[in-house]
Structure 1
Amino acid sequence: MKKILINICACLMVISSLSAQELKSPDGNFVMDFSLQKDGTPTYKLTYKGQAIIKESKLGFELKNDEKSLVNNFSIQDTQTNTFNETWKPVWGEVSEITNHYNELAVTLKQAETARKMRIRFRLFNDGLGFRYEFPQQENLVYFVIKEEHTQFAMAGDHTAFWIPGDYDTQEYDYTESKLSEIREEMEDAITPNASQQPFSPTGVQTALMMKTDNGLYINLHEAALINYSTMHLNLDDKNMVFESWLTPDANGDKGYLQAPFNTPWRTIIASDDARDILNSKMTYNLNEPSKIDDTSWIKPVKYVGVWWEMITGKSSWAYTNDFPSIKLGETDYSKATPNGTHGANTENVKKYIDFAAKHGFDAVLVEGWNVGWEDWFGKSKDYVFDFVTPYPDFDVEEIDAYAKSKGIKMMMHHETSSSVRNYERHMDAAYKFMNDHGYTSVKTGYVGDILPRGENHYNQWIVNHYQYALEKAANYKIMINAHEAVRPTGIARTYPNLIGNESARGTEYQAFGGSKPNHVTVLPFTRLIGGPMDYTPGIFEMDISKMNPNNNSHLNATIANQLALYVTMYSPLQMAADIPENYNRFLDAFQFIKDVAVDWDESEYLEAAPGKYVTVARKAKGTNNWFVGNVNGLESRTTKISLDFLEEGKKYEAIIYADAKDAHYKTNPQAYKITKQTVTNTSKLTLTSAPGGGFAISIIEK
């Protein structure tokens, strides 16, 4: 009898150990616990330095037309642990090397009655947790449709959040700062007009979601490696402070069509008691696969100017003529049209930009509105919008190509799809071949308006696959992609480093559409940039838009010093000097920083950071001993004290400081700045004051 009791106790211990698993980060600061509830529902929880980050939260899936969804009745069949540590070199980036160090737990579950298997793989890094669902090949689960993914993130309190509304079609919102409990009452004001939008819930928000707890912890929720799957939003149960995943549906309302074997994207939780650690995290990249492009020598960071801002402000137009009420490509005869006199993409005007780029050392010139079809491109639910190869009569492709080459300038292609993704795929090979034939190495793509096929959304599985298809197809032609209005990045650029930029958030263009909040750029590094670089298009020097277009009374909510700092704080290997040459010629001393600043880096030091308030970054230019510092400030004037101890010991440098003047203010005096120079070393300390909506930028050049 005693022997039987001992055996029973031993069995209970085995069952207990199988149903509850603990995983620690390499440094021991994070602890993740996995367990099954009594009904076989899988759950996890996460702590950081003993403080709750995620309380017990459920995991699972609801399947369409299936009573036996993958939410409970599981038992643990197997667990495997692993430790991984590597250092890899990105093709471009904030740093020259990235450490990928994690401890891993993979739990294989089997569901009673159905005998279906589902594996949950957890990776715990020193900066947070990533986990995904894996469906092994099996007889009882082959093809299946997701009705909803039920991944929970149970918050440990009513945190302060920096959020934008959950929306199937746009991320171009200003951020709202509020308590989680206040999201519902703030939602109506947070939803502002856009060319295409579909909010889904009064408490739904988008990732990357940034939060701060009352006791000073910073928490970021996002996803990594979004491949062949719907984009995840978060819907808040604001009575219990529990977020649950909410996938973007397709035209049928379905959330995903899967075939085993299949791995979902990773769900990510980055946390720290220091906001700078959130910005320093490379976990999102580390959860993506290594580069699938063997030869990356053609992928190069780019600093560019372009025929763009003059159209955004209304000074110029994308369309060539006002004669036609509608356009049919191949039938409309542009040779008989009267030019409207406002078309920006004409040969003479583009040459001016090429001259400016060559004079000031830029790499490329973007031209929007060069191709036929812009007269009725938007809002018509039109399938055949552009062919991406036929120029307007006033844009001489061959002449422009020859002129740019004579000046050592690359031309950057523009493909606005008007969200007709079938039309783009129909023309993609011809369009990319056209680029190859004319020496275009990069393209800015756009997806403005409602998606065609009708009923699809910008962020559902089918359209996510389109963005990926365009990216991989471009890689075949050795073309770099800068996608606007596409799905927010999730670290895919590690696997496909030809994705050198995305917009996927509210960029500078909105400053000409009524303005963005002055502290918008102090939030973006904590949210949008977690998944990859943003083509924010900074560098606007004329804040009064009416001086560009008398019919546009918008005002840029930033100072010139703030605009300079963005080239450092808003990391991207693709940086645009977005203003027109005439405005830069008025402020050539300030423009010098844009000319000097690098676009690729060996080291990055986040000196200070607080979401919504300020970000100060120092970066070491690739292959040099030169550093650049940027500070963007929020709504209140602030004095920053920084140490230059990141400089090499024993070296002397010249620091050129571009700072707000004493009377600078984003609203009343945005063009007030001062430039000073001084010799500095690694023992130097600087004290600088940033105006509301202001900042400073510093070039630190080795002597």
Structure 2
Amino acid sequence: MKLQSPDGQLIINIEESETGIILLYEYQRKSFLKCSLGGFDTTEGKIGEHLKLRSIERVSSRENYNLYSGKSSKAIASYNQIILHCQDRMGSRCLMDIVLRAYNEGLAFCYSFPQSENHELHIINENNYYTPIPSDLTLWPMYLDSFTTNYEEIYQKQSISELLPERLIAMPLLIQNEELGFAITEASLIDYAGSYLKWDAEAKSIYSTLSHSSDDLIAVRKTGSFQTPWRVVVTGNHAGKLIESNLLYHLSTPSKVANAQDWIKPGKYAWDWWSNAVVKQEGISGGMNTDTIKYYIDFASSFNLEYMLIDAGWYGKHDDIKANIIMAIPELNLPEVIEYAKEKNIGILLWLNWRCVKRQMHEAFPIYKQWGIKGIKMDYMDRDDQEMVRFYVKVTELAADNCLLVNMHGAHKPSGVSRTYPNLLTYEGVRGNEYNKWSYTKPSHHVTIPYTRMLAGPMDFTPGAFRNVSAERHKSVWEKPMAIGTRCSQLAMYVVYESALQSLCDHPDAYNGQEGSDFLKIVPTSWDETIFLKGEVGQYIVLARKKGKQWFIGGMTNEEERFVEIDLSVLGGKLFNYILYKDIPESKVNQERLHVEKGTNLSGPSFMIWMAPGGGMAGVLNDMESH
């Protein structure tokens, strides 16, 4: 029995054995992954380890839907599906459905339990075993020490034989060779524990494990009928093609947010925290106070930004879990700041410690709406056990009821839930620019995370560092931090990194009159279309993203300088007026230097760019036919 994608490129071969159901995944007629479904460990014993089929059910579907933010404004979800109605061979009364779907972008399955309403099932673990088949595969694991994690470690490049046994591996796990790239992850994580992977060296298999709190071996408690999150393998002929995929959104529930189009507005924000609220204007002391925040609001207005994020410290110490999140510190006249921002057409976003949110959100969120606050940034969760996953949903739902946008920091990975709750605009869950305050991030990391972490969804790296230096000159400082790489690489991040909320992380005077700052005034944060142009994981990347009649291009390289030839024919073969922000030879010495090239009649089939070590390029192409 088999299931194939609408275009016939992907196939799931379904085998029924004495030990259960085995899935053999093929891409372009070549097997690349075996998935053995090992059932569930529960407090009632093993369930679903030895399954037999009772019946099957097939269906095909095509759905067109709109997205309020992200890599495209419209999506087409076309798939073929089989439901395997199963029963345990060992005499258990447990009935289980396995739902399999094949899309052109990848393959997925989930479990569905048609239980009685009064039966509570306690799941200890869900046992799925993934065995990669080609011998020449490269894997990109991010190892974690425990389930208490913010997903901010570094991705490693390894062969299968180099994988570390029994270490937690975060999803998505990218696996690739010269013929294909695929990533193992999950979709629609709503009321369940987050899933991780481990390597079994003896069985030569990657197996799943569910997050749970340290004092409770039970990972999931479910009453009545339920469905697990989708177990997803995003697939394409190159790792970069996976970036274009909306598969996790396809597998998620449609929007539950009323009138979303009327108030959900992606955009860029000014930010006081990264630079330590520096102000160079005489008479303003800097720090968390009314004058400083108004100064940042003035900057946001002058740079055509949508928001001002007032970060930790506005209501008290960041780690005070008993603080009152509807009472600003005396130095900050919040009503005056909100009114001032409103006059400048700037929305206010507020940072919040999640423990304070848990205690006070039912009181605070309606008040925020009354004040005119546009959104929240919730921080420090660092977990994805079932209780915390449920909390994310509760916060996002209550925020939606009060027309508040949500940015999750100290967060677990996305899983497509932003389709269900489109006010959930972005997540952190990545080692971002903040690390430059106490450590650093390397250019090789910058060109790895688009192929790995970003496959899960939006990624708030917080770009915009304008003190750009080489690795040799970099120093970790808390106030006015610096970043490794050229200024053009920071500009490129606004195109390469997907996040419907994007920071200008530096202080206002770091941008005023600086080379490249005008690009920050025009680059969008949400897109109509995304195309991977060229790249290799950990080496370099070039993406094109479309907004209206404009194409924006972003390119970044690792520590190696390189020439890259870009094929423009995929953009429709049109003529463009263009502005390009490019590294120059001097960028190798002074990473803040760049050249702005303007021209007309740029057309295909290709053009060449050069990027300095740790460098990049950014540009905007205006369709001449639309002018």
Match in the other structure for 1:326: none
Equivalent residues, number:
612
Q: 1:556 to 1:396 in 2, by over 3 A?
A: same
Match in the other structure for 1:299: 264
Q: How much does 1:467 deviate? A: 0.9
Match in the other structure for 2:453: 528
* One-letter amino acid of the structure 2 residue matched with residue 610 of structure 1: E
Aligned: 1:679 with 2:622: no
Instruction: Report if aligned partners of 2:437, 2:476 keep a CA contact under 8 Å in 1.
Output: no
Match in the other structure for 1:402: 339
Q: 1:46 to 1:551 in 2, by over 3 A?
A: closer
Match in the other structure for 1:468: 393
| Aligned 1:244-643 pairs, distance under 5 A | 244-250=207-213, 251-296=215-260, 297-311=262-276, 344-374=287-317, 377-378=318-319, 384-417=321-354, 420=355, 423-447=356-380, 458-543=383-468, 555-587=482-514, 589-621=515-547, 624-643=548-567
Match in the other structure for 1:661: 584
Q: How much does 1:24 deviate? A: 1.1
Q: How much does 1:394 deviate? A: 0.7
Q: Out of 57, 62, 81, which is 1:80 matched to?
A: 57
Determine the C-alpha separation between the residues in 2 that align with 1:58 and 1:547: 48
Determine the C-alpha separation between the residues in 1 that align with 2:212 and 2:72: 37
Q: 1:551 to 1:697 in 2, by over 3 A?
A: closer
Q: 1:304 to 1:550 in 2, by over 3 A?
A: closer
Instruction: Report if aligned partners of 1:32, 1:46 keep a CA contact under 8 Å in 2.
Output: yes
* One-letter amino acid of the structure 2 residue matched with residue 579 of structure 1: D
Determine the C-alpha separation between the residues in 2 that align with 1:483 and 1:125: 29
Q: Out of 666, 686, 692, which is 2:613 matched to?
A: 692
Q: 1:73 to 1:408 in 2, by over 3 A?
A: closer
Structure 1 SS opposite 2:447: helix
Percent identity of paired positions between Structure 1 and Structure 2: 28
Match in the other structure for 1:10: none
State the Cα deviation string for residues 399-444 of structure 1 (Å, max 9, x = none): 1122212222211111123xx3xx4222002221221122111111
State the Cα deviation string for residues 531-577 of structure 1 (Å, max 9, x = none): 22112110111136999986779752221000000111001221111
Determine the C-alpha separation between the residues in 1 that align with 2:595 and 2:442: 24
Determine the C-alpha separation between the residues in 1 that align with 2:513 and 2:401: 42
Q: 1:664 to 1:343 in 2, by over 3 A?
A: closer
Q: 1:679 to 1:58 in 2, by over 3 A?
A: same
Q: 1:95 to 1:32 in 2, by over 3 A?
A: same
* One-letter amino acid of the structure 1 residue matched with residue 615 of structure 2: G
Determine the C-alpha separation between the residues in 2 that align with 1:573 and 1:553: 25
Q: Out of 35, 40, 43, which is 1:61 matched to?
A: 40
The range that moved more, 655-664 or 565-574, is: 655-664
The range that moved more, 163-172 or 501-510, is: 163-172
Determine the C-alpha separation between the residues in 2 that align with 1:458 and 1:238: 27
Q: How much does 1:603 deviate? A: 2.1
Determine the C-alpha separation between the residues in 2 that align with 1:221 and 1:227: 18
Match in the other structure for 2:157: 177
Determine the C-alpha separation between the residues in 2 that align with 1:604 and 1:56: 30
Determine the C-alpha separation between the residues in 1 that align with 2:186 and 2:446: 21
State the Cα deviation string for residues 158-208 of structure 1 (Å, max 9, x = none): 631112113312201121112232232xxxxxxxxxxxxxxxx74321101
State the Cα deviation string for residues 238-285 of structure 1 (Å, max 9, x = none): 234311111111231221112230100000011222233211111111
State the Cα deviation string for residues 670-696 of structure 1 (Å, max 9, x = none): 213211111134436321111222110
Determine the C-alpha separation between the residues in 2 that align with 1:576 and 1:99: 30
Instruction: Report if aligned partners of 1:657, 1:676 keep a CA contact under 8 Å in 2.
Output: yes
* One-letter amino acid of the structure 2 residue matched with residue 573 of structure 1: A
Q: 1:283 to 1:369 in 2, by over 3 A?
A: closer
Aligned: 1:228 with 2:216: no
Unaligned runs of 5+ in 1: 1-20, 185-200, 317-340, 449-456
Instruction: Report if aligned partners of 2:69, 2:526 keep a CA contact under 8 Å in 1.
Output: yes
The range that moved more, 385-394 or 282-291, is: 385-394
Q: 1:258 to 1:685 in 2, by over 3 A?
A: same
Determine the C-alpha separation between the residues in 1 that align with 2:478 and 2:437: 11
Match in the other structure for 1:238: 201
Match in the other structure for 2:140: 162
* One-letter amino acid of the structure 2 residue matched with residue 413 of structure 1: L
Aligned: 1:30 with 2:30: no
State the Cα deviation string for residues 280-307 of structure 1 (Å, max 9, x = none): 1111110001111131111111111111
Name the structure with the higher strand share: 2
TM-score, scaled relative to structure 1: 0.83
Q: How much does 1:116 deviate? A: 1.1
Instruction: Report if aligned partners of 1:120, 1:131 keep a CA contact under 8 Å in 2.
Output: yes
State the Cα deviation string for residues 356-407 of structure 1 (Å, max 9, x = none): 1111211111111343330xx44xxx7x432211111110012112221222
Determine the C-alpha separation between the residues in 2 that align with 1:369 and 1:552: 15
Instruction: Report if aligned partners of 2:579, 2:621 keep a CA contact under 8 Å in 1.
Output: yes
Instruction: Report if aligned partners of 1:540, 1:563 keep a CA contact under 8 Å in 2.
Output: yes
Determine the C-alpha separation between the residues in 2 that align with 1:580 and 1:343: 10
The range that moved more, 149-158 or 567-576, is: 149-158
Determine the C-alpha separation between the residues in 1 that align with 2:436 and 2:62: 44
Structure 2 SS opposite 1:618: strand
Structure 1 SS opposite 2:485: coil
TM-score, scaled relative to structure 2: 0.92
| Aligned 1:112-261 pairs, distance under 5 A | 112-138=90-116, 142-156=119-133, 157=135, 159-166=137-144, 167-170=146-149, 171-184=151-164, 202-213=166-177, 215-250=178-213, 251-261=215-225
Instruction: Report if aligned partners of 1:514, 1:554 keep a CA contact under 8 Å in 2.
Output: no
Q: How much does 1:582 deviate? A: 1.3
Q: How much does 1:93 deviate? A: 2.6
Determine the C-alpha separation between the residues in 2 that align with 1:591 and 1:289: 39
Cα RMSD (Å) of the superposition?
2.4
Instruction: Report if aligned partners of 1:291, 1:495 keep a CA contact under 8 Å in 2.
Output: yes
Structure 2 SS opposite 1:693: coil
* One-letter amino acid of the structure 2 residue matched with residue 268 of structure 1: V
